[in-house]
Homo-oligomer: A and B are copies of this chain.
Amino acid sequence: MTDARTFLAQGDVFDSLTEAECRSLLATRTFGRVGVTSGGLPVIFPVRYLYADNAITFRTGGGTKLRAAESGDVLAFEVDVYDTETSEGWSVLALGRATVLTTEHEEDDVPTLDATRAGERRNHYVRMHCELLTGRRLVQARSVHPDGSS
């Protein structure tokens, strides 16, 4: 995991969370964001999700997120909490390949932000296994002088 963490961090991450902390925090929320590369461009979509067994499950209509999952693309998934009053919070970022679940899973009660359209019988369920998991505590950064004082 050190390599993955180093790859993701690339100089930006500090006060990082352990994988166990990331998993615990993922389970405390139900609203996050999926990042995909669409036509070579990065795109971010908000989603309702459920976290269990180190996987994110969300429902989606027949758009970009579904195609990315069907294509076996790596998705990014991000959850954060940040209080602009106290300047404190956390964020967790997961990367992984997603699969489109078969109909046997479609009775799960996963909330969704994507309306099922007229004539479309149901939304699709996408499950993303969290292969790389990193997180950090968010604080309003202050400059630190070379001697360590701020």
Contact = CB atoms under 8 A, between A and B. Distances in A.
Interface of A: 7-12, 14, 30-31, 33, 35-46, 48, 60-65, 67, 74-78, 80, 82, 84, 87, 89, 91, 93, 95, 111-119, 122-123, 138-148
A43 B48 contact: no
Chain B CB count within 10 A is highest, among A44, A122, A148, for: A44
- So how many copies of this chain end up in the complex? 2
Nearest to A31: B82
Contacts of A38: 10
B35 A76 contact: yes
20 contacts: A9-B63, A10-B64, A12-B45, A12-B61, A12-B65, A12-B114, A31-B84, A33-B33, A35-B43, A35-B76, A41-B74, A41-B76, A44-B44, A46-B80, A115-B141, A115-B143, A118-B145, A118-B146, A119-B146, A123-B143
Contacts of A142: 115-116
A42 B33 contact: no
